[in-house]
Structure 1
Amino acid sequence: MTMATGVSICSNALLMLGAQTINDFADQVNLDRAKLCANLYPSQRDTMLRAHPWNCCIKRIVLAPDAVAPAFGYSHAFELPADCLRVLEVGTGGMQIDYLVEGRSIQADTTVLELRYVFRNEVESSWDSHLIDLMTVAMAAVLAYPITQSTSERDSREMKLERALKIAKAVDGQEDPPQTLGDERLLAARLGAGR
């Protein structure tokens, strides 16, 4: 089995559209398709990764505050990691806290910030097979009109993408534990206090 790469994903999408594959993003023989893929792939990848908290694209980090505090509102600002595509959880000491995302920073009233986020995972070989398939379908959808000049092909590919996204999200979500409301320790303390 070959390892997935951005080029293999784009090549498979081109095959789905009945077009010649590419060898790399600077392929001189198929320069038009290679340039098209090189231009469209990074933004489409980021869009698909941001669309759902894929288990293979989640990181945890502890952030220290920036030197300059916000002008008002919160006591500290924390710069988001460069690879952050979507904030999932913000907390301190294992408990979620009040925060605000502004630009490329998080503002909060704490001096240490625990962050769970979707990161720009550029190592496709580490992706779940459903995410690889989804990204291939997404590239076929975005390449459909430029490659085939057919609006009906584009529309058909976009509908297939919607279905594939629902399936991939459902399968990925099945690996997560059931969600609970609020902080479990707080709930346990309240239940314990009532006895």
Structure 2
Amino acid sequence: MASVVSICNLALSNVGKDNINDLTEKSAEARACNQFYTQTRDMLLQSYPWKAARKTLSLGEITNDKPGVWQHAYMRPSDCLQVRWIRPVYAEDDGAPDMAFAGAHHEREAQYPYEIEGDTLYCNLSPCLLRYTARLTDPTRFSPLFIEALSWHLAVRLAMPLTRDPKIRADALTIARTMQAAAEQADVNQVRQTSDTSTDFLTVRSHG
């Protein structure tokens, strides 16, 4: 089962360094992993709309301090790394499973304008549905390919502090980009399979 330490050890192995037993140990490897792991994980999560980190939330309205610019204001969720889209809340959303929003056509569904300032999201919609990428901290929810991509991106950050070798860093970056592309493609395929299953089910029901 994946853990933060196991992912860090993959990254350390990628740059030819010894594994650690715990992030609190007094070693250069543990200190470097503590310094770079969270930032690297959040960077990778933010870079792409990963299905595992996807959340859809109906926002609660707060006092609008920009009434001359926007009609409504909402509190941005504390775990929000990247807003993907906002749109109105439709009656058919009530009780709908998240898979109902899967697929590229839903990601493009509504390009409503908004502005984010600090922890506040401003827009002209009320009520407002937010799709975003959340800060996913539980490594057991990461896919194997995501873990590989994360370990190599972390290796890029660890390379110079631990090895001082630009070639090791450059090689790690090349592999990190390759593994991220593979993880993204697998994520796309997973969404497509879910959408196809849902469509097939609806087709059977409609002809039943």
User: Do they superpose with TM above 0.5?
Assistant: yes
Aligned length: 174
State the Cα RMSD in Å. Answer: 1.7
Asked if 1:34 is matched to 2:49, the reply is no
| 1:40-51 equivalences in 2 (<5 Å) | 40-51=36-47
The counterpart of 1:5, out of the listed 3, 27, 32, is: 3
Q: Is the 8 A contact 2:58 2:89 kept in 1?
A: no
Query: What displacement does 1:97 show?
Result: 5.9
SS in structure 2 of the partner of residue 96 of structure 1: coil
* Cα 1:97/1:137, change in 2 over 3 Å: closer
Asked if 1:58 is matched to 2:85, the reply is no
Q: Is the 8 A contact 2:115 2:123 kept in 1?
A: no
**1:168 is matched by which residue type in structure 2?**
A
Gaps of 5+ in 2: 91-108, 194-208
SS in structure 1 of the partner of residue 136 of structure 2: coil
Higher relative contact order, structure no. (Cα contacts within 8 Å, ≥ 6 residues apart): 2
TM-score, normalisation: structure 1: 0.83
Structure-1 separation of matches of 2:179 and 2:141: 19
| 1:1-195 equivalences in 2 (<5 Å) | 3-28=1-26, 31-94=27-90, 96=110, 98-103=112-117, 104-177=119-192
Task: State, as a whole percentage, how many aligned pairs show the same letter.
Answer: 24
Higher helix share: 2
SS in structure 1 of the partner of residue 62 of structure 2: coil
Structure-2 separation of matches of 1:176 and 1:122: 21
Q: Is the 8 A contact 2:9 2:19 kept in 1?
A: yes
Structure-2 separation of matches of 1:63 and 1:114: 6
SS in structure 2 of the partner of residue 24 of structure 1: coil
Q: Is the 8 A contact 1:69 1:75 kept in 2?
A: no
**1:115 is matched by which residue type in structure 2?**
L
Query: What displacement does 1:46 show?
Result: 0.5
Gaps of 5+ in 1: 179-195
